[in-house]
Structure 1
Amino acid sequence: MTVLRRLLAAAALAVLPFACATAQDDTITIMAFGDSLVHGYGLPAGAPFPAQLERALRDKGYQVEVINAGSSGDTSRSGRSRLSWVLQDRVDAAIVVLGANDALRGIDPAVTRKNLDAVLRTLDERGVATLLAGMKAPRNMGKRYVQAFDSLYPELAKKHDVVFYPFFLKGVAMQPDLNQSDGIHPNAKGVAVIVDNILPKVEQLIDRVRSNAAS
């Protein structure tokens, strides 16, 4: 190898780590934060919401990593209590999917509102662009409960100026072929429908991340 070739090779090796670091820095890290609907209750590897969302975004050319920060059984309160722990690693954006278990347990919507308000405030203070996914109370909970629960999501989204997706289970809830045998948790096909429906809002979230980085 000539001296010139040796110098060029050394220069290339010196630049390579920087190039790799730059590529990694360009990756947008999205944390899917929520309950069993995020965690993937009853689903095989590769089928939960975060994994399917990551594949869908990459298929569209986005350089992203979607972290599964779901915990089956989480209420808004338990989600709130573990948020600081899951935020120990840097994330650029978060998708919040909490509240379904609150409604199933008949928890006072005022309590759910208070907890989600705290979650959104913490994410804002950490500079994390956020998408709030709404939930709907079971219709048998009574008109007053349903109105109080359903309305807290758009009101909190407006208050905190986050990207808002009105109903996480849109097109999937109450559809037997898209849910597991319990009739509550989506199967892999159901998750695919969720991803397809929410994708434009996630792209809007990514735009916010880029805008924040440019400002």
Structure 2
Amino acid sequence: MDRRRRGRKAALPLVAVLLGWLANGPALACKLAILGDSLTAGFGLVREEAFPARLEQALRARGITCAVLDAGVSGDTSAGGAARIDWVLADRPTHLLVELGGNDALRALPPAALEANLDRIVRTAKEHGVQVMLAGMLAPPNLGSDYGKAFEAVYLELARRHHVPLYPFFLDGVVLQRDLMQPDGIHPNGRGVDVIVARIVPMIESFLQGK
């Protein structure tokens, strides 16, 4: 075989790759799935106002191209998230942000059950080679200080045990701020989502960059 024929054969795979790129666009190396409840799903908001969409926009503004997958289900508990983790991982995310626990607290579920469910989620994701970050939640004060401390400690312990980053409180800066919450006092409005994104995005940026 002469050099010209060898050169043409070697070029064929590259041409195929380029044609595929032109047809489908570049494949994103970064895919962040958010396993969450109504705070992720954007209860009471249009899709463009919900946390996943606003986070993806904020990341792009920082020069980070990462598909953000909305795996939020309104009313979901940590048990529901644990039951759905295999389905979420079927989309082959590279990273997973776990935003669960609010509905566990509203139902006063035992912190031990929360820990077991979140532990299963983190372990399963890591077994699939997915990087994990936790977003913590606080229990309502009417459940008492003992319950509140035990609930908060779950996230701290899981972050320590699995060596994963923890954003301590997902609703930081928004909860109890009437102008940032919907009338139910539980879910953020569009402005509230923007505050959440602005506060959490630096940590997510570091998480995606492996820092």
TM-score, normalising length from structure 1?
Answer: 0.87
Matches within 5 A, 1:64-213: 64-208=66-210
1:178-207 CA distances to partner (integer Å, 9 max, x unpaired)?
Answer: 010100000010000000000111011111
The one-letter code sitting in structure 2 at the alignment partner of 1:151 is: A
1:71-90 CA distances to partner (integer Å, 9 max, x unpaired)?
Answer: 00000001101111121111
1:42 corresponding residue in structure 2: 44
**Distance apart, 1:92 and its partner CA:** 0.5
**Secondary structure of 2:137's aligned partner:** coil
**Secondary structure of 2:166's aligned partner:** strand
Distance across 2 between alignment mates of 1:195 and 1:82: 24
Identity of aligned residues (%): 48
1:14-73 CA distances to partner (integer Å, 9 max, x unpaired)?
Answer: 552355599733431000111000000000120000000000001111111100000000
The RMSD of aligned alpha carbons is 2.1
Distance across 1 between alignment mates of 2:41 and 2:77: 13
Distance across 1 between alignment mates of 2:120 and 2:182: 32
2:34 corresponding residue in structure 1: 32
1:126-164 CA distances to partner (integer Å, 9 max, x unpaired)?
Answer: 111111000000011011111100111111011111111
2:4 corresponding residue in structure 1: none
Given the superposition, is the C-alpha separation of residues 19 and 42 from structure 1 closer, same or farther in structure 2, using an over 3 Å criterion?
same
Residues 28 and 67, structure 2, Cα contact 8 Å, conserved in 1? no
Residues 133 and 166, structure 1, Cα contact 8 Å, conserved in 2? yes
Between 10-19 and 77-86, the greater mean CA deviation after superposition: 10-19
Residues 163 and 204, structure 1, Cα contact 8 Å, conserved in 2? no
Number of aligned residues: 201
